[in-house]
Structure 1
Amino acid sequence: MSSVESPELRPTLADVARAAGVSTATASRVLNGFPRVRPKTRRQVESAMSSLGYARQRAARASTGGRTGSVALVVCEEVLRLFADPYFARISAGAGKELTAAGLQLVLLTVPATEDYQAPVVRYLDGGHVDGALVVGMHGRRPLDLGWLGIPVVFAGRPVCPREPGRFSYVDVDNRGGAQRATQRLIDAGRRTVATIAGPQDMTAGVDRLLGYRQAAAGAGRDHRGLVVFGDFGQASGEHATARLLDRKPHVDAIFAASDMMAVGALRALRRVGRRVPGDVAVIGFDDLPVGRRTDPPLTTVRQPIEEMGTRMTAELLAMLGGSAAPGCAVLDTELVIRASA
């Protein structure tokens, strides 16, 4: 009587690394024949592969062609945030169109950005379930290092502090330039106290947008001390950050929010305390989500080409799957869209 090993029980490279007492990157170097591995370490990894049956499993998949017809969209955010923030839906739409045209299926994998969020991602992607991965919403507390996997990976946004620059493919937007233009718009309009609701500083988008704000403020000789508050790109965080800001600096007359959802929260907080927009406080967001056209007043914002970003990421991935491209990066332009809020 023959038995069939369940895919869920198949050993992954992470299992091999754990058994050998090495990192997954080291186990990958042994598997792929990299020369700069100590002989003792190589023997440990090879022994672990043999005892777990890892090498035989990989060979079996290779003999069947190794293609699944699926690509994973890995979203490193809470599920509630995934469905509440239109950013993720729009980037998925861009990716989905491109994959459908190529005859591939999009598989959604969501993981909260907790301390141990890497483990389920690595286990799934290393399990032979998909041909490649698109990674969105990556946080940098423990940067998600997938460069050692045997499948191509493309990130939405520049990875935070990659160990080996140039090793990862990513598609980003000009976050710093967009934030700088938005802040300069407020300064040029004669606003005296220009604050910002900055995004998470463990994401490059949050870091770069805050840098753009600071560069514009410094270029105009403005002191921005006490005018920076932080949110998580979500609406509730923007509302709470604005309340804190008004307690600290009640005479603030302009706010650049590093996302449209935080800007919507800022509008709610300002309305609650009777501050008129843009009469008393001008507000600019970042993203150009549809919600910004329906706010009262309509939201001035920095447009980033979100669907194009998803399309471009997928095109990069497909080129890598076809063997016609090496890992590379692209930075898309942003545009300041003027509406009534500023």
Structure 2
Amino acid sequence: MGPKRQPTLDEVAARAGVSRSAASRVINNARHVSQAKREAVERAVAELGFVPNPAARALANQQVGAVVLALSHHDPALFTDPFFAQIILGVNAELEKTELELLLVLADTAQGQTRLQRILRSRRADGVMLMALHGDDPLAALADQHDIPVVFGGRPLHAEPRWYVDADNRGGSRLATEHVIGLGRRHVAVITGQMDTEAATARHRGYLDAMAVAGLDPARVEHSDFTEPGGAAAMTRLLAVHPEVDAVVAGSDAIAAGALRALKAHGRTVPGDVAVVGFDDLQTALHTDPQLTTVHQPVHGLGRELAKMLLSLIAGEQPHPLILPTRLVRRASA
């Protein structure tokens, strides 16, 4: 007869009726846990005979009860951007299951980066989530500079971090391009986001993948900045150089909304003359005329998984990187 199987943390959490992260914090004697949760977990531990991991307990004993969401972004429009709003809501929804506080740091400027470094050096946070990194952003090196869990929301352009949550940007853009090619469009253009981001470059690669398989010319390319005004300007430039364009694969819903506005201003009908596909599937896609066919990425889910991965690291576990699936949502624009 073999040794008795040890119960898992998930089993303890299920028996106690609490989240996995809450069970971990109680077991590891972490602070900021309600008395009711603590008592429920302690009962479950006794009933199941659970033995805590000493290394995880040592880490948890040093916790201060807060985590940071750092955005390499300082544009005032950030707080009206539906993408970042959904990310923050997703992160907050997962943290509400714990007693951890959320600190939001805008770290695109030297002052913001200094503030974040000060927080980390003084150990005023148990972990960090990083979002919206561009190019060789110095924030990408945080994981190597500090003895603190760091999770990336979206991969940096020139690095492969150990822990990240991302969407299948390349596959989603390939789906969008294949869709308009399947509609019979042969002069397919792409309007990318900022090419110093991994998301934009991956979506461009997805467009190139589909165009190569179809044997079509991928030279109709313009760049934008993930905004509606940027999309409108890029579409205007495309029409000036490539008036034959009959489909546009946009790097975001905001870019696509700008493209729709420019096409209308130039007397082009959608989808009659030009089919348009966005990327994100945010509320913007429902409020354009016509409504956007777009690639859905689970933005709220990305925020939740980002927080979940960080909580797992704080608990002393070793999660795997995660790529969330994307899918095409068909509406009137293509």
Pairwise same-fold verdict (TM > 0.5): yes
1:321-340 equivalences in 2 (<5 Å): 321-325=314-318, 328-340=320-332
**Percent identity between the two aligned chains:** 44
Q: Measure how far apart 1:115 and its partner are.
A: 7.7
Structure 1 equivalent of residue 278 of structure 2: 285
Q: 2:209 aligns with which of 199, 212, 215?
A: 215
What are the superposed Cα offsets for residues 125-154 of structure 1, whole Å, 9 maximum, x if unpaired? 323221111111111233521112121111
Structure 2 equivalent of residue 30 of structure 1: none
Distance in structure 2 (CA, Å) of the matches to 1:78 and 1:325: 32
The one-letter amino acid paired with 1:73 is L
Distance in structure 1 (CA, Å) of the matches to 2:149 and 2:81: 27
Structure 2 equivalent of residue 92 of structure 1: 88
Pair 1:121 & 2:124 matched:
no
Structure 2 equivalent of residue 294 of structure 1: 287
The one-letter amino acid paired with 1:332 is L
What are the superposed Cα offsets for residues 293-334 of structure 1, whole Å, 9 maximum, x if unpaired? 1111000000001111111111110011011225x3110100
Output the aligned Cα RMSD.
2.0
The one-letter amino acid paired with 1:209 is R
Q: 1:138 aligns with which of 133, 136, 147?
A: 133
Pair 1:101 & 2:97 matched:
yes
Distance in structure 1 (CA, Å) of the matches to 2:75 and 2:137: 20
Distance in structure 2 (CA, Å) of the matches to 1:153 and 1:267: 39
Distance in structure 2 (CA, Å) of the matches to 1:123 and 1:234: 32
Pair 1:203 & 2:200 matched:
no
What are the superposed Cα offsets for residues 202-249 of structure 1, whole Å, 9 maximum, x if unpaired? 111011000000111111111122x11001111111111111111111
Distance in structure 2 (CA, Å) of the matches to 1:268 and 1:215: 28
The one-letter amino acid paired with 1:335 is R
Q: 2:249 aligns with which of 235, 249, 256?
A: 256
Structure 2 equivalent of residue 33 of structure 1: none
Structure 2 equivalent of residue 17 of structure 1: none
Structure 2 equivalent of residue 158 of structure 1: 155
The one-letter amino acid paired with 1:334 is T
Q: Please say which of residues 115-124 and 135-144 is displaced more in the overlay.
A: 115-124
Distance in structure 2 (CA, Å) of the matches to 1:192 and 1:204: 27
Structure 1 equivalent of residue 68 of structure 2: 72
What SS does the corresponding residue of 1:339 show, helix, strand or coil? coil
What SS does the corresponding residue of 1:145 show, helix, strand or coil? helix
Confirm or deny: 8 A CA contact 1:303 1:335 kept in the other structure. Answer: yes
The one-letter amino acid paired with 1:185 is H
For structure 2, the residue ranges without an aligned partner over 5 or more in a row are: 1-57
Structure 1 equivalent of residue 20 of structure 2: none
Distance in structure 1 (CA, Å) of the matches to 2:136 and 2:261: 31
Q: 2:185 aligns with which of 181, 191, 209?
A: 191
Q: Measure how far apart 1:172 and its partner are.
A: 0.7
Distance in structure 2 (CA, Å) of the matches to 1:303 and 1:156: 17
The one-letter amino acid paired with 1:68 is V
For structure 1, the residue ranges without an aligned partner over 5 or more in a row are: 1-61
Distance in structure 1 (CA, Å) of the matches to 2:178 and 2:133: 29
Distance in structure 2 (CA, Å) of the matches to 1:275 and 1:281: 7
Please report the TM-score for the alignment, with normalisation by the length of structure 2: 0.78
Structure 2 equivalent of residue 3 of structure 1: none
Please report the TM-score for the alignment, with normalisation by the length of structure 1: 0.76
Q: Measure how far apart 1:174 and its partner are.
A: 0.6
Structure 2 equivalent of residue 54 of structure 1: none
Count how many residue pairs are aligned between Structure 1 and Structure 2.
275
Structure 2 equivalent of residue 177 of structure 1: 171
Structure 2 equivalent of residue 21 of structure 1: none
The one-letter amino acid paired with 1:329 is P
Q: 1:240 aligns with which of 207, 216, 233?
A: 233
Distance of aligned partners of 1:176 and 1:116 in 2 relative to their CA distance in 1, 3 Å threshold: farther
The one-letter amino acid paired with 1:330 is L
Q: Measure how far apart 1:74 and its partner are.
A: 0.6
Confirm or deny: 8 A CA contact 1:85 1:261 kept in the other structure. Answer: no
